[in-house]
Amino acid sequence: MRCVTYAGQTVMTTDDVAGALVTLTAAVAQTGASEAVRIPILIEGSGGEVGEADLVIGVGNDVLSSPASWEGETPDFSAAVQRLTSHHLYPRRERTTEADPADRGAKQDVGQNDIDFDYDGYIDSL
């Protein structure tokens, strides 16, 4: 579970929702825009009651995600993750091709959008 801090308020959500939110926030900010999104949260002090939070993400809207301790069962917020990751500005990933070992160290002509920033075998498209 993660605590998401936004505009001085902190809410709790799942790791996947928080990760998708932070990624989408950065992507929207990179375009110079702002957008409203809704995320599922656990209502503080309710013992696990689910609610929703509306946030404006993008330029000038800082979102902080930090670990949170949680004793209960992790709620299924997969529909919200799907909604966030299907946003038209959410970065898409393409599988890179396996390089010929003989080409290791060879210079390649790559663009800014052709880099595997996190070394997971996928090109991280913006």
The answer to whether residues 14 and 58 belong to one domain is yes
The answer to whether residues 117 and 85 belong to one domain is no
> Domain of 106?
94-126
pLDDT of residue 87: 95
pTM value is 0.73
The answer to whether residues 13 and 43 belong to one domain is yes
The answer to whether residues 126 and 100 belong to one domain is yes
Q: How many domains does the chain have?
A: 2
The answer to whether residues 28 and 70 belong to one domain is yes
CA distances, 68 to each of 14, 54, 77, 89, 109 (Å): 9, 20, 16, 28, 43
The answer to whether residues 74 and 125 belong to one domain is no
The answer to whether residues 101 and 50 belong to one domain is no
Q: What is the mean pLDDT of each run of 10 residues along the chain (126 residues)?
A: 94 96 94 95 89 94 93 93 95 62 51 56 59
